[in-house]
Structure 1
Amino acid sequence: MNIGDWIRKWSQLSPQKVAVIDDGHEFSYKELNQRSNQVANFFLQKGIHKGDRVGVLLYNCHEYIEIYFALAKVGAILVPLNWRMAPPELSHILNDCGATSLFFGEDFLDTALYIRDNVEEVKDYISLGQEDILWAENYQKIQTYPSTEPTGFKEPDSEDPHIILYTSGTTGFPKGAVLSNRKTFFNALNANIFYGLTSLDIFLVSRPLFHSGGLLVDSTPALYKGATVIYKRRFSPQEYLETIEKYNVTIIETSATFLNFMLKECNVSQYNLRLLKSCYTGGERVSTTMLKEYHKIGMPLSQIFGMTETSIVTWLSTDDAVRKIGSVGKPVLHGEVKILNHDMQQVNPGEIGEIMVKGPILMSGYWNEPEITREVMSNGWFYTGDLATIDDEGFIYIVDRQKDMFISGGENVYPAEVEKILLTNPQILDVAVYGVPDEKWGEVGKASIILQDNTGMSAPEVMEFLHGKIGKFKIPKYVEFVDKLPRTATGKIQKYLLIQKFKKEIASKGI
């Protein structure tokens, strides 16, 4: 199984079909395949073969996709690097995976210099930019290599690693999830089903390609189907909507945070979005208010659920998005999902259990972490750590992360349940609820809240809003209003930092 064959075949079937639009520049499937071949032949000349790891530190661009498919063609492993991370974090990743080559953009020259001084195994540096660098090869020179299909190498098979994608590390150092060719293929099949992809579709990709969303959930399925993907280095909400209108975009998948910004900063209804058939979001909570607002203006917003280790696990059809508000849908076709209680028995409707996932969409394991892999994988099942319920129709509802749950006075409290209710208040833009130490109850809740602009709300008003909607023991004892919440580079709220902050404040007061 060679993922690189996809663009080779599309270059034969539809050579002039536009594969990528990068900041207004169009590249056909024929051009994409030829340019990927040049990079693949460069790899072979450099001695980069099956199993070798190659880091990529770039903003979203057509070159990223060329490198992606070139690595797939020769069986080498892509290691996407999160440009929001600090140089020491990126150096840790490159040292951990043993990368021997690094592609980097001109904006990341200082980071590349740091890596050069701190990562011994990286020998080959390839820069993307106009300036020549003495210790790096220029990507433009790669385009002098033969554009014919690479030959003379050992073909990758379905179980060979294709990507090592490092998790965002909400509780410690990132871990490298090893993703095989087989996983990438079945993820593409699943996504084609829930997006309803055809070769005529135009997919606007706003998530970064270092993210499983941008690379595996959005770009890869679209290019597997022979559709068109659109990239830009960064989008403002206005530019995003203008791009949808200009290119007659049919599919989008983006973060709930960005969707909130669009409603806040733009009159979304004034744009011509009539060709949008699929609008999905995942990875963050979606407020009831926001979802209903988008449906009101004609954007069929719905939810997907997954993680780096599993790709997409469940999806909610746009037809069910409002009827089953708060649900993440039902399991994808290629993959099994169970919700098990502490006794490893499947839960009844309404009961809480942990989501378990099995099937070809799973990672092979964590790179260099056999013990941690064994902790989360057993008999082919992956323990997600996400707690959920299921209703009588088979729709799944995420309750919380198992690690986020805290116990107050002997009662389990699931912060996501409290957050979900708070987000129904139109004055609240975002919120994080978490457990903090309490002398009387062991732990109590604290809520850090971001308010909508031009709104005012007090802590007693927050508590009053929750009164009668949830048990008293679930209502946060503490409420604070903040301008922003600490997040990982992929947007996940770092609750442990909020807990640390609370503990420091208590310690400073001598309590």
Structure 2
Amino acid sequence: MNYDWIKTRSDYDEVKAAVIDPMKGTEWSYQDLNIRAENLANHLHDQGIKRGDVVGIFAPNDVAILDLLFATFKMGVVFLPINWRLKPNEIESIVSDSDVKMIFYSQKHKVSLQGIPEELIHMDIDSQEYDEMVHPKNHRSFKTADVESDDLASLMYTSGTTGLPKGVMFTYDSFISNVINTALTYKINSTQTTIISTPMFHVLGFNDTTLPLIMSGGTLVLHRYFDGKELNELMKEYDPNYLILIPTMYYGMLVADNFDINNFKNIEFLIQGGSSPLPTVQKKFESMGHTLINGYGLTEAPLAMVNTAHNAVKKPMSIGKPVMYVDMRLLDEEFNDVKTGEIGELAVKGKNVTPGYWNKPEATADSFVDGYFLTGDLAKKDEEGDIFIVDRKKELIITGGENVLPSEVEAVLSEHPLVRQTIVVGYDSPKYGESISAAVVLSEENANFESILDEHMREKLAGYKVPRLYLKLNDIPLNSTAKPDKLELQKMMNKKAQEESQEDELV
């Protein structure tokens, strides 16, 4: 079957701006996107890349990410976007597990690839060499390969709930189903424009924001790195019809000194996802006449549920109901359906759901029950069928849209000789939804322990995984079963954060 939909889009569309890059001052039509992808497909073929091989890209938001996706779809090659925010050792594990054959990169982030074999680091996407190779003026036509719907199309890595990087598999069918579901749900069309500020290595930024608009024939404005002030300027210049952002990004726009609600005059809807809603941000937008709508998904099931604008006014914390062609269940510990109002683990089923984890058959088997994917999120359903996330079953912390496993942070903290015992929990943050905190029992007194541990952690982990708050204790509090009382620790952390006023409240 032919999944080369960018070629079809280019055949049917008028010549118009498909992708605009304000930073580079470039603009590409749908015809340009198809030609760039054909040029890149020829280049990959010349380098010996063949069907089924994995090719990666390590870059901020850039048209090159689309170049590679569309080139791989033409070839039957596997597309791998890599999170450039990760530390070198984390990236090495992904490269090793995926068996990637070639990595395109942005020069700014090449230092993070220092532990990767040099022969895999292929080309700087910001270089003149890359620009010349893909430029439409140098067109080399390419014959699209036929692929099967269940062939592997993409890998996206997530830490999930085990602490080890896991490659989430997307077949052509699951990948395209998600894009179509999203476009239908949000009623995206060719007259619309949006700005992509969330990272395109995430499903929220790529599968749920970028691709539905491109498939629908709209115009995408690239925001290379999120910055609230810059996004406000882009809003003023490009008048987007909708935004899909992480809650903390809406916060960043609001607190920037150039925020102007008049820049939202063409906005039809505002979606937030990737982490828990920020009530103060929701109330602020509501007071200005705009409702933030909660969407729900995860790497394994990019868009599963979404609220509506009308319902969000009444139920601002609800994630709504399943989108088209997605089913859901709430299950107890024995995988029986719970009753309305009772809490159960959220499980989802649909063509857009991953078929499993790369090279991890046991993890895949453990993640499905009767064809439903177990999300690890605890939720409840009200009488009207609306879903509310209650808690995370596996204690995963989501800070600013990034997943952090407490055990990973605890393991690194415990490596330092100053730390005798530590428990990592999330605490409420008006900016990030949740932030990372660590309760520590020290092996010896040291007045500078916070700065010492902070330096240690920043050497070992990505910045978003480093604790923003430390609490020194003589003993870790225990619950009635003699286990660390994490609920009590969270209360203590929230109290300390409020006392220290670490983060600005929205006014």
Q: Give the C-alpha shift of residue 387 in structure 1.
A: 0.5
CA RMSD for the aligned pairs? Answer: 2.9
Q: Which of 490, 494, 506 is the equivalent residue of 1:447?
A: 490
SS at 1:95 equivalent: helix
1:200 corresponding residue in structure 2: 191
Residues 127/330 of structure 1: CA separation in 2 closer, same or farther (3 Å cut): same
Shift of 1:268: 3.6
Instruction: Call closer, same or farther: CA 1:428–1:374 in 2, change over 3 Å.
Output: closer
Instruction: Give the structure 2 partner of residue 468 of structure 1.
Output: none
Question: 1:177 aligned to 2:177?
Answer: no
Give the aligned partner of residue 54 of structure 1.
Answer: 55
- Find the counterpart in structure 2 of residue 438 from structure 1: 477
Q: Shift in Å at residue 420 of structure 1?
A: 12
Aligned residue in 2 for 1:150: 142
The DSSP-based 3-state class of the residue aligned with 1:64 is: helix
CA contact (8 A) 1:430 1:450 kept: no
**1:277 to partner: Cα distance:** 0.6
Q: CA, structure 1 residues 312+429, in 2 after alignment: closer, same or farther (shift >3 Å)?
A: closer
Q: Aligned partners of 1:138, 1:420: CA distance in 2, in Å?
A: 42
Relative distance call for 1:361 and 1:440 in structure 2 (3 A) is closer
Structure 1 segments, 4+ long, off by >6 Å, are 419-423, 433-436, 448-451
The residue type equivalent to 2:132 in the other structure is Q
Shift of 1:44: 2.0
* Number of residue equivalences: 433
Q: Say if 1:205 and 1:449 are closer, same or farther in 2 by CA, change over 3 A.
A: farther
The residue identity in structure 1 corresponding to 2:342 is E
CA 1:343–1:375: 2 relative to 1, 3 Å: closer
Match of 1:159 in 2: 150
CA distance in 1, matches of 2:107, 2:93: 21
Query: Shift of residue 111 of structure 1?
Result: 3.2
Deviation string, structure 1 residues 156-194 (Cα, Å, up to 9, x no partner): 221111110000456522100011111121111221133
Q: Report the equivalent of 1:352.
A: 343
CA 66–449 in structure 1, closer or farther in 2 if over 3 Å, else same: farther
Answer yes or no: is the 8 Å Cα contact 1:448–1:481 preserved in 2. no
Which residue of 328, 339, 342 corresponds with 1:337? 328
The answer as to whether partners of 2:74 and 2:145 remain within 8 angstroms in 1 is no
CA distance in 1, matches of 2:287, 2:102: 49
Give the Cα separation in 1 of the matches to 2:195 and 2:157.
Answer: 24
Specify the alignment match of 1:265 in structure 2: 256
Determine which of 103, 120, 124 is the counterpart of 1:127. Answer: 124
Cα contact 2:18–2:30 (8 A) shared by 1:
yes
Where does structure 2 lack aligned partners over 5 or more consecutive residues? Answer: 397-424, 440-475
Is the Cα–Cα contact under 8 Å of residues 356 and 383 in structure 1 kept in the other structure?
A: yes
**Paired residue for 2:96?**
95
Conserved? CA contact 1:303–1:315, under 8 Å: yes
Aligned-partner Cα distance in 2 for 1:244–1:181: 33
Alpha carbons 2:291, 2:313 under 8 Å: kept: no
Please state how far the C-alpha of 1:147 moved relative to its aligned partner.
2.8
Whole-Å separation in 1 of the counterparts to 2:103 and 2:501 = 39
1:284 equivalent in alignment to 2:285: no
Taking a change above 3 Å as real, the CA distance of residues 435 and 88 of structure 1, as seen in their structure-2 partners, is closer
Moved more, 176-185 or 285-294: 285-294
**Aligned mates of 1:247, 1:319 — CA distance in 2:** 26
Deviation at 1:54, TM superposition (A): 0.4
Q: Distance in 1 between matches of 2:427 and 2:130?
A: 53
In terms of mean alpha carbon deviation, does 288-297 or 440-449 score higher? 440-449
The one-letter code matched in structure 2 to 1:262 is M
Q: CA deviation at 1:267?
A: 5.9
Question: Aligned AA for 2:293?
Answer: S
Structure 1: tracts of 5 or more residues without a match: 132-136, 406-418, 452-457, 463-478, 485-511
Distance 1:345 1:378, change over 3 A: closer
Quote the residue 1:395 is aligned against: 386
Partner of residue 294, structure 2: 303
Q: Quote the residue 2:12 is aligned against.
A: 13
| 8 Å contact from structure 2 (residues 88, 114) kept in 1 | no
Q: Which residue of 2 aligns with 1:4?
A: 4
Partner of 1:111: 112
Check 1:30–1:142 CA distance in 2 against 1; reply closer, same or farther (3 A cut).
closer
Cα deviations by residue, 1:338-383 (Å, 9 ceiling, x for unpaired): 1112232222221000111112011121111111111102332111
Per-residue CA deviation, residues 31-53 of structure 1 (Å, 9 max, x unaligned), is 11111111111122223222110
Contact 1:206 1:231 in 2 (8 A): yes
Matched, 1:141 2:133: yes
Q: Is the 8 A contact 2:19 2:28 kept in 1?
A: yes
Q: Secondary structure at the match of 2:336?
A: coil
Q: Helix, strand or coil for the counterpart of 2:18? A: strand
Describe the shift of the 1:138–1:11 C-alpha distance in structure 2 as closer, same or farther (beyond 3 A): closer
Q: Which amino acid aligns with 1:8?
A: K
Identity of aligned residues (%): 29
Provide closer, same or farther for how the CA distance between residues 41 and 322 of structure 1 changes in structure 2, counting only shifts above 3 A: same
Give the equivalent residue in structure 1 for 2:318: 327
What is the CA deviation profile of residues 143-163 of structure 1, one whole-angstrom value per residue up to 9, with x for unaligned ones?
489635412x64122111111
Normalised TM-score (structure 1):
0.78
Q: What residue is the counterpart of 1:467 in the other structure?
A: none
Over 3 Å counting, the alpha-carbon distance change for 1:99 and 1:448 in structure 2 is farther
Matches of 2:120 and 2:62 in 1, distance apart? 24
Native 8 Å contact 2:42 2:142 kept in 1: yes
- Encode CA deviations 1:103-140: one digit per residue, 9 max, x unaligned: 011113333443125xxxx5461222347xxxxx7453
